[in-house]
Amino acid sequence: MISVPTAPWAHQIGDLLAWSGAFLGGAWLHRRYPEAVRRLARQTEPSYFIQLAIGGVIGAWLFGSLNSLRSDVPTLSHSIAGALAGSIAAVELWKWRHGVRVSTGTPFVIPISMGVVIGRWGCLFAGLDDGTFGVPTALPWAVDLGDGVGRHPVQVYESAAMLIFLLVFVAALRAGRAWPLEIGFHVLIVVYAVQRFVWEFFKPYPPVVGVFNSFHFLMLGLMGYGICWIIRGDRAEPIEPRPIGTESLRAEVVDVPLSQSNDEPV
Section 85-90 average pLDDT: 94
Phi, psi of 28 (to 5 degrees): -65, -45
Residue 248 lies in a domain: no
- pLDDT tens, position by position, 12-71: 999 899 999 999 999 998 898 888 888 888 888 899 999 999 999 998 878 776 666 555
Helix intervals (H) in the chain: 10-32, 34-43, 46-68, 80-98, 109-126, 154-174, 179-182, 184-199, 214-232, 246-255
pLDDT of 2 above 90:
yes
CA within 13 Å, CB half, 250: 4
Residue 251 lies in a domain: no
CA angle, 82 then 186 then 60, to 5°: 10
Residue 185 lies in a domain: yes
CA angle, 85 then 91 then 92, to 5°: 90
pLDDT of 254 above 70:
no
Residue 82 lies in a domain: no
- Structural domain count, the chain: 1
Residue 264 lies in a domain: no
236 vs 149, more confident: 149
Burial of 156 per CB tally in 10 Å (0-12, 13-18, 19+): middle
Section 104-133 average pLDDT: 92
Q: What is the number of residues in the chain?
A: 266
Residue 8 lies in a domain: yes
Q: Mean pLDDT of all residues in the chain?
A: 84
Phi, psi of 151 (to 5 degrees): -130, 155
Residue 78 lies in a domain: no
- pLDDT tens, position by position, 184-218: 999 999 999 999 999 999 998 888 899 999 899 99
Given this model, what pLDDT does residue 34 score? 87
CA atoms of 191 and 186, how far apart (whole Å): 9
Given this model, what pLDDT does residue 232 score? 81
195 vs 82, more confident: 195
- What does pTM read for this prediction? 0.83
Q: Domain containing 174: what range? A: 2-44+100-240
Residue 119 lies in a domain: yes
Alpha-carbon 122 to chain mean position: 16
